[in-house]
Amino acid sequence: MSEPLRIVIIGGVAGGASAAARARRLSEDAQIVLFERGPQVSFANCGLPYHIGGVIPERQSLLVQTPASLKARFALDVRVLTEVLAIDRAARTVRVKDLQSGEIYEQPYDALILSPGATPIRPPLPGADDQRIFTLRNLEDMDGILGAMPSGGGGRALVVGAGYIGLELAESLRHRGLEVCLVERLPHVLGVADADMVFPLHEELLRQGVDLRLGTSVSAFEGHGDHLIARLDDGQGVSCDLVILCVGVRPETLLARESGLVLGTTGGIRVDDQMRTSDPQIFAVGDAAEVKDFVSEVPALIPLAGPANRQGRIAAEVALGRPSHYKGSQGTAICKVFGLAFGMTGLSESTLQRKEIPFRKVYLHPPQHATYFPGAHPISLKLLFEPGSGRILGAQAVGVEGVDKRIDVLAVAQRAGLTVFDLEDLELTYAPPFGSAKDAINMAGFVASNVLRGDVDLWELEELPKVSEGQFLIDVRSPSENAGGTIPGSVCIPLDTLRSQLPDLPMEKELLVFCQVGLRGYVAARLLAQKGYRVRNLSGGYRRYAMWKGTHTRFSACEGDMKEEEKG
């Protein structure tokens, strides 16, 4: 009879706790020990901002599992407040310190799973060691932020960095009644996304009273009695009661480095598709592991809870002899920003450009459900796909409702290897309160497939400064829409009068048409092309132009384009 497999896991939360539970479900005989340096082994770190905002009122709700509950249900040996100091790969042991008693001892393993996570970056700025300056990684950080809020209510908070966590904290702190200044060094929030798709978030943040400072950084902090002054690189100062740094995370790889494990080009622990490190007996999962990007197949760090859970599960399965494989991370994520949601999957346009991956793109603004049913709101959707094949490379969406459903469908389609042509044929649920007869996903497939089939040619906003004498810009919306704002240099010829005005159009020029969201422009382009004109349409229409220019437009359902396609 063989000896029970000894599995040691370093780090809990998503990756480590998932690995431990999966290992026990596969083997009642395995000896499973989980070490966690902090006081909690499994907590909902994605819920931390929402407890700060009071949306999750009970702190206890964030505790997913405790050492006692894991021992009772899974017979796991969980040791919190215990730090692993070193890994002896030759002896297959780890040196461990009990942080309460100070005892140091050796723990043997047959399989070792590293789940150390990532550490929030704390830039070495002057004054950054002030106790009123926080990062947010665990419950203790959360408690510190809550304790630093002015006891009488009100006060002012500075959030540095407008990624997912920074945006969630800005909203949560506003819910608590604090004034919030949000500083981001990039010219737009959510650096993983494209600037044109997050402009509605800028509008929403400003509408909700957030003092949004884009394209600037903090250069120093100064303590002034009971408040702080953050000095910005534009010369201004921001007075605040507390600061939360949300400028990114760094994989925690100290143990791996010191034990000689190979690190990847991103700085994370290099693993294969079975989550094995350069030592076949050691696995790495979660935020510290360098994985393969699903679209580009290049190394990437993608610190998200969903992938970490799956990686922990796979590592446990492989350790116990199952041939499991991790198939890459898509970076599928969503963020709530007051009344809006932003979601994405796959690669952004800026990333595709940086990696020199060929792509095509389309924009559309369909409603989340039938417009004749009360409460319809548009979803602004950007779809990126491979020329020729139509392989889905990425998608981004922003709107009031329905963003999660559409991004989830596109993430599944991407994972399954579907193309934009397949999106045309997807059969999705429809009833007026929930969707449209032609869902936003179908519409994205129609628009993208039309481009690849050659039914319509597109022009891009980047061409505007170079519109030549040989081109003619036409707004096919109604005169009232045109009067409310249009693209400079265009002539308004409403779609319904276009046929009668064909003789007046210059046959020798290329016609660049646009409407409000793209549909009427497409219809105009088809009409003109069949009459012998050279014509291209603006995907996404004037609404996309407004987002691109950063002009202030209301994020509300538009008439004319959406209603034509959804009766059923």
* Catalytic machinery residues: 46
Token pair recorded at residue 179 = 């004034």
Say how far apart CA 253 and CA 247 lie, in whole Å: 19
Per the DSSP assignment, residues forming a β-bridge with 87 are 94
Number of H helices, E strands in the chain: 15, 32
Could you tell me how many residues make up the chain?
568
Give which of 285, 247, 293, 447 is closest to 366, Cα–Cα: 447
Please state, in angstroms and rounded to a whole number, the distance separating the CA atoms of residues 428 and 167: 32
Dihedral, CA atoms, 7, 8, 13, 19, nearest 10 degrees? -20
- Bridge-based pairing of strands 156-160 and 242-245 is parallel
3-state secondary structure of 147: helix
The secondary structure element, H or E, covering residue 450 is helix 440-453
Burial of 296-317, coded b for 16+ CB within 10 Å and e otherwise, reads beebbbbbbbebbbbbbbbbbb
Distance CA 50, CA 538 (A): 40
The phi and psi torsions of 509 (rounded to 5 degrees) equal -105, 155
Residue 104: in which H helix or E strand, if any? Answer: strand 104-108
Closest of 206, 184, 208 to residue 195, by C-alpha: 184
Residue 337 pairs with which residues in a beta bridge?
Answer: 340
Give rounded-to-5 percent helix, strand, coil for the chain: 30, 25, 45
Distance of CA 186 to the CA centre of its chain: 16
Torsions phi, psi for 196 (to 5 deg): -70, -20
Q: How far apart are CA 472 and CA 491, in angstroms?
A: 8
The H or E element spanning position 251 is strand 249-251
Q: What does the H/E/C string look like for 59-71? A: HHHHEEECHHHHH
CA angle 86, 91, 94 (to 5 degrees): 30
CB atoms within 10 A of CB 57: 9
- Spacing of C-alpha 331 from chain mean position: 7
Q: Rounded to an integer, what distance in angstroms lies between the CA atom of residue 80 and that of residue 549?
A: 52
